[in-house]
Structure 1
Amino acid sequence: MRLPLFLTALCALAACAPPAQVSKNHPPMAVGVGFGDPSAYRALAMPSGGSSRTQDFMDLTFAMENGRGLETFSRFEGPVTVALRGNAPPTAAKDLAALIGRLRNEAGIDISPATGPATITVEFASRAELRRLAPTAACFVVPNVSSLADYRRLRGSKRVDWATVTRRESAAIFIPSDTSPQEVRDCLHEELAQALGPLNDLYRLSDSVFNDDNFHSVLTGFDMDMLRMTYSPQLSSGMSREEVAARLGTSPVVGPGNPPDWTHAIEAALGKTGSLTTRKVAAERALAIAQASGWQDGRLAFSYFAVGRLMAGSEPVRALDAFDRAALLYARLSGGELQLAHIDMQLAAMALAGGLPEEASRLADRAMPVVKRHENAALLATLMLIKAEALEKLGNPSAAAALRMDSAPWARYGFGPDSQVKARMRDIAAVADRAAKG
């Protein structure tokens, strides 16, 4: 999986090398974190015809991430079962059970766990093995197979082409076994949602996992609405785009999705290849395209965020301006509070590096409740460790030590084994050291 956005930024600020992948010989330990019960979700009726939500549904349902259009609506008909296979990490079963419970209660889907043959199989294999099949994917879902062996045999055939599916009968989700518990959970949420429903991602959606910006890591209320619409009794597998649009009272025209030029620029800016200079140029290009297009949605905000993230270590004034403009946009968008918390983390790290521990602590305190609500343990641990370093700078080492201890369960869930947790602690300490050396 791509490095989480906040870790990449910390590495840029601390001039550290990208951390090594978790070793498959040292799988993540079983850890327990308590996010509390998900906020109550009120089941909504089918949105009124022509609403923005029905158009979002059409745009997500009748296109794929690569821009390829789909002419036929498909879903599972009847009860859905989900089973784990392979070297499943210790936390996977609990996280899957919680997700299935939410899908039943919030999206109204008849779905349950299974131990034998299942409608949807979740198979775990080593990251290296999965990369040989899908080099750029952290995890992925395939129709009409029930195992990795099936996929190897059918790879490249129409049988595993989502565009040929008119009624979903089976699917398999493939997830690395040698990764952090949080990444496993994130893969479960995103891939199970796509196995059940929409196959597209749209950067304009600020409150959704159906978005490649990676801010949201668990299914949101918007996502549950999309899945509830997918399994509405008004719809059925095999319907044409026009038939679905007529049932929803909306236009059958599907939006253009993510413009290729902007998408390529964002991917180049936030990818793991290319020099920092090249990536900065790509971020500026994405921002210029967003501005020229007149967007005022998540795409413009994310463009500013990308510029700020890449400029934070070398051009702090430019970075602060970009983060400020991103924050103004996200504050107006549904679900934007999590993006604002990510910006606060970036600003807290910059404040720590700039010798402003009081500001770093204030920003961390503001972001932590939001991050906990959105169940992002890795980001929560990062904020706690930033605040711990700030407390050290403020002359309160005992409070800093206590906070580091409190962060440990979140860090283990978010990052994996102790070696990874300690690496993150060193990265953040290196950010704090910049102030002393500056």
Structure 2
Amino acid sequence: MHGRWRHIGLALGLLAGLAACDSSKLAPRQTDVPPSARPEGLKPEVPEEAPRRRSLASRDLETYYARVQADLLAQGLLRTDGGGPDTPFTDTMLLRNFERIALAEEYERGAGLRPSRGELGRIKKWKKPVRVAVEFGALVPAAQRVQDSNMVAQYVRRLARVSGHPIAMDSNDTNFHVLFMSEDDKAEIAPRIRALVPDVNPASLKIFDNLPRSIHCLVIAFSETPGGYDYGEAIAVIRSEHPDLLRRSCIHEEMTQGLGLGNDSPQARPSIFNDDDEFALLTTHDEMLLKLLYDPKVTPGMDVDEVRPIVAARAAELMGGPS
């Protein structure tokens, strides 16, 4: 919104400058000839509204995130290979990582960005089909909209294949919204979320009042019933100022977290669910986590004691036998 108001201010300044010229020698001379009558039915011309332009803050963010991506790549981070011989893991490690990522909360429920205390909670996942649609802030370029829409659609197909759960692009009765918004659109984010989820906890929206640039993207998932564990709605917000790989990384992490793999762990490797930024895109390890979560025997609300034997057996199966 800052960009919009600043641009309107410039437009008003220009109009004031033109009005000041009325008494100059460039102003039209008065005449006694009466003006011709306007033909009936002819509508007065309405000046076109000047197009919005991106604010300096948005352009600065774009430059900043380009440097962030370049620095991470220079350090050998943001890998896109999915893991390899240098990142071995066992079924025991997979089980441990599943418990930390699927059962623990990254943030306290309904408390904005306040970190949780790390206790293991209960399984959270979707039972109903997931219908995904994308939305864009007003200043996201047309070419980027096409690119991002294609990236989301491609990833949705992968999530459906890996999880075995019905997940598809569908702009009708959407329940998983992916919003690509710029710094100039941030004042519109909370009202849009409120429109999508009218009974949203106001505390969940406070994080958008002054979102720090260290938060590249985020997702908020809502249960079907208050205090429940089966998801009925999710909204991911991704900064449009990110360069291509960071935007794609945000798509991978936030959409997968919105399916129920909601936490990070410093022990998870190879994984996007680790704050070390080693991997940019969903890895083979992460695909296995998703398979574990969407195993039909794993149901929303299960605690660690209920889910551990199921996941342990399935993890050993995925890894070709217990280690």
TM-score band, normalised by shorter chain: 0.5 to 0.7
Percent identity of paired positions between Structure 1 and Structure 2: 23
2:217 paired residue among 112, 116, 139: 139
Cα separation, partners in 2 of 1:143 and 1:85, compared to 1, 3 Å: same
Q: What's the offset of the Cα at 1:5?
A: 6.1
- Structure-2 change in CA distance of 1:212 and 1:98 (3 Å): same
Amino acid at match of 1:58: E
Distance 1:212 1:62 in 2: 17
The answer to whether the Cα contact below 8 Å between 1:109 and 1:228 also exists between their aligned partners in 2 is no
- Residues 260-285 of structure 1 deviation map (CA, whole Å, 9 limit, x = unaligned): xxxxxxxxxxxxxxxxxxxxxxxxxx
Hey, what does 1:96 align to over in structure 2? 152
Residues 100 and 55 (structure 1 numbering): CA distance in 2 closer, same or farther, change over 3 Å? same
Whether the 8 Å CA contact 2:126–2:230 is kept in 1: the answer is yes
CA contact (8 A) 2:292 2:311 kept: no
CA separation of 1:76/1:210 partners in 2, compared to 1, >3 Å: closer, same or farther? same
Cα 1:60–1:10 shift into 2, 3 Å: closer
Which runs of structure 2 are paired with 1:8-407 in the superposition (5 Å)? 51-65=92-106, 66=115, 67-87=117-137, 89-127=145-183, 129=186, 132-135=209-212, 136-144=214-222, 164-249=227-312
Aligned equivalents of 2:179 and 2:119: distance in 1? 28
Secondary structure at 1:95's aligned position in 2? helix
Between structures 1 and 2, the one with greater strand share: 2
Say which SS state the counterpart of residue 178 (structure 2) adopts: strand
The offset of 1:81, in angstroms, is: 1.1
Q: Which has the larger radius of gyration?
A: 2
The 1:57–1:100 alpha-carbon spacing in structure 2 relative to 1, beyond 3 Å, is same
Partners of 1:195 and 1:212 in 2: CA distance: 17
One-letter amino acid matched to 2:134: L
SS in 2 for 1:204: coil
5+ unaligned residues in a row in structure 1: which ranges?
12-34, 40-46, 146-157, 251-438
The correspondence for 1:4, drawn from 68, 71, 81, is 68
Rounded to whole Å, the distance in 1 between the matches of 2:296 and 2:302 is 13
- Equivalent AA in structure 2 for residue 239 of structure 1: M
Contact 2:100 2:120 in 1 (8 A): no
In structure 2, the CA distance between the partners of 1:5 and 1:181, relative to structure 1 (3 Å rule), is closer
- 1:114–1:240 distance in 2 versus 1, CA, 3 Å: same
**What is the alpha-carbon distance in structure 1 between the residues aligned to residue 232 and residue 166 of structure 2?**
15
Q: Secondary structure at the match of 1:219?
A: coil
Measure, in 1, the Cα distance between the counterparts of 2:312 and 2:245: 39
Q: Counterpart of 1:92 in structure 2: which amino acid?
A: D
- State the 4+ residue runs in structure 1 displaced beyond 4 angstroms: 8-11
For residues 328-365 of structure 1, give each alpha carbon's deviation from its aligned partner in whole angstroms, at most 9, with x where no partner exists. Answer: xxxxxxxxxxxxxxxxxxxxxxxxxxxxxxxxxxxxxx
Deviation of 1:235 after TM superposition, in Å, equals 0.7
Gaps of 5+ in 2: 1-63, 83-88, 107-114, 190-207, 314-323
Whole-angstrom CA distance in 1 between matches of 2:73 and 2:294: 39
Residues 154-185 of structure 1: per-residue CA shift (max 9 Å, x gap)? xxxx97xxxx4411111100111233232221
The verdict on how the C-alpha distance between 1:249 and 1:8 changes in structure 2, with shifts beyond 3 A counting, is closer
- Structure 1 residue 6 displacement after superposition: 4.5
Following the alignment from structure 2 to structure 1, what is the Cα–Cα distance between the partners of residues 311 and 269? 23
| 1:7 counterpart letter in structure 2 | D
Task: Find the aligned partners of 1:214 and 1:117 in 2 and give their Cα distance.
Answer: 34
Q: Which residue of 2 aligns with 1:398?
A: none
Q: How far does residue 143 in structure 1 lie from its aligned partner after superposition? A: 1.9
1:84–1:248 Cα change, 3 Å: same
TM-score between both structures, scaled by the size of structure 1: 0.41
Deviation for aligned residue 1:223? 0.7
Per-residue CA deviations over 1:171-220 (Å, capped at 9, x if unaligned) read: 10011123323222111101001000211111222311001111211111
Aligned residues: 201
Q: 1:113 to 1:238 in 2, by over 3 A?
A: same
Amino acid at match of 1:103: L
